[in-house]
Amino acid sequence: MNAPSILIVDDEPNNFAVIAALLSDCDYQIHYASSGQQALSSLDIYNPDLILLDVMMPGINGIQVCQQIKAMPKWQAIPIVMVTALSSKSDLANCLGAGADDFISKPVNPEELRARIKSMLRIKKQFDKIQSLSQIQENTIDTLKISLGALRGNLASNLSHELNTPLYGIIAPIELIKDFLKDMKIAPALEMLDIVEQSASRIEMLTKRLLVYFELEAFVSKQHPVKPMRTKFSSTAIETTLRSQAQSSNRSNDLVFSLEDAEIALSEQYLSTLLYELVDNALKFSSSGTSITVSSQIEGDMLKLSVLDLGRGMTEEQIAKIDAFIQFERETYEQQGTGLGLTISRKIAELTGGQFWITSVYRHETKVHLTLPLARS
């Protein structure tokens, strides 16, 4: 197995010499870049497993280099440790905000440097294992040849990403928590635990969505409609629930409601799922401060429900291609998600005898419409 490759980026050759000397008794391949631009150009040459990046450099500074590396899909998983003489909380927050995984203060403490490098490389090794499992998953999916070719490709990429990202958000902080607790640094350990909790919640939510999706797929494959049930469509309860959902994004005030009470032939679970997915989709693809309008009205023996957001919008081609594990323009917007939300909503509506359709003006607004049957008296 090749020794881990470490790229040291510093405009002062003496600083590189000091760090290289401190690591001379370690089994690492040490490489040097004297500027941010040289570091970016040499990534494919050195293929680093870890980057030690000086913050204060002429030209492209360390924070800008970190942002550019983390924006590259090929390199965004590479741990970056910022080497900085800065000590204020705002400066350190800027490093972390740029995507840095850790930082170490100048003058560099030899034992701390070795410990942090060892910890980051251990995390990188674990992440590589996850990626390897993801590749096995992708190959297995291709071998099984399930469903359409487009579904296979998007399932392999998006679902793997949605699983790997929160898993990395659990594995990486745990290693840091161990280090913090050894030094009795309780406050940063608690911050890392918050990240672990958020990542675990993402996995839990993804699991729930997948279970609902596969349950609905089972109804489709067996050509069975969803069993009709009676649930109260309460404007007061729905408004309270959806405002609480939007509060996590600090957007509860963006929601606008125009709801008519009704009793519908749909289970409470599916109604909650449908409303959550539609509003989550609107929150995800529109900006804070723009309104999201949730409306309903009784039309004959159906309840017509719609959710309008003034966000990214969709083209006719994109609307026609909506399906599970497909997200559009992800490389531009980098939002989380699997594309399950609208697919689940459509299946719920259609399996209960209703309809689902979308109208949109690209880069201006999207309105999701659906109808649900009223409960029979």
Q: Give the pLDDT confidence of 148-172 residue by residue, as tens digits.
A: 444 444 444 444 445 555 555 566 6
Tens digits of per-residue pLDDT, 88-142? 677 778 888 888 888 888 888 889 899 989 988 988 888 777 777 666 666 655 5
**Whether residue 157 is found in the same domain as residue 180:** yes
Q: What is the mean pLDDT of residues 57-85?
A: 90
Q: Which range marks the domain in which residue 253 is found?
A: 231-373
**Whether residue 249 is found in the same domain as residue 173:** no
**Whether residue 235 is found in the same domain as residue 368:** yes
**Whether residue 290 is found in the same domain as residue 179:** no
Tens digits of per-residue pLDDT, 287-323? 999 999 999 999 999 999 999 999 988 888 888 877 6
Please give the tally of structural domains in the chain. Answer: 3
Residue 367, domain CATH: 3.30.565.10
- Specify the pLDDT at position 178: 66
Cβ-count burial of 294 within 10 angstroms (0-12 exposed, 13-18 middle, 19+ buried)? buried
**Whether residue 264 is found in the same domain as residue 353:** yes
- Specify the pLDDT at position 183: 64
- Specify the pLDDT at position 140: 56
Q: Which residue, 274, 215, 260, 212, is CA-closest to 374?
A: 260
Cα torsion through 13, 19, 24, 27, rounded to 10 = -110
Residue 67, domain CATH: 3.40.50.2300
What is the overall mean pLDDT for the chain? 81
**Whether residue 262 is found in the same domain as residue 130:** no
**Whether residue 104 is found in the same domain as residue 50:** yes
**Whether residue 238 is found in the same domain as residue 311:** yes
Q: Which residue, 87, 13, 126, 104, is CA-closest to 51?
A: 104
For 161: left if phi > 0, alpha if psi spans -120 to 50, otherwise beta; the answer is alpha
Q: What is the mean pLDDT of residues 329-352?
A: 68
**Whether residue 280 is found in the same domain as residue 346:** yes
Residue 361 in domain: yes
**Cα–Cα distance measured from residue 69 to residue 80, given in angstroms and rounded to the nearest whole number:** 9
Residue 222 has pLDDT above 50, yes or no: yes
E strand residue ranges, the chain: 5-9, 29-33, 50-54, 80-84, 102-105, 231-233, 255-258, 262-264, 292-299, 302-309, 356-361, 365-373
Q: Which residue, 29, 66, 21, is CA-closest to 47?
A: 29
Phi, psi of 197 (to 5 degrees): -65, -45
**Whether residue 241 is found in the same domain as residue 365:** yes
**Cα–Cα distance measured from residue 199 to residue 179, given in angstroms and rounded to the nearest whole number:** 20
Does this model's pTM top 0.75? My answer is no
> At which residue do the structure tokens 């350190």 appear?
92
Q: Going by C-beta distance under 8 Å and a sequence separation of 6 or more, which residues neighbour residue 113?
A: 19, 22, 23, 104
Residue 337 in domain: yes
The neighbouring-strand residues paired with 233 are 262
Residue 166 in domain: yes
Q: Going by C-beta distance under 8 Å and a sequence separation of 6 or more, which residues neighbour residue 97?
A: none
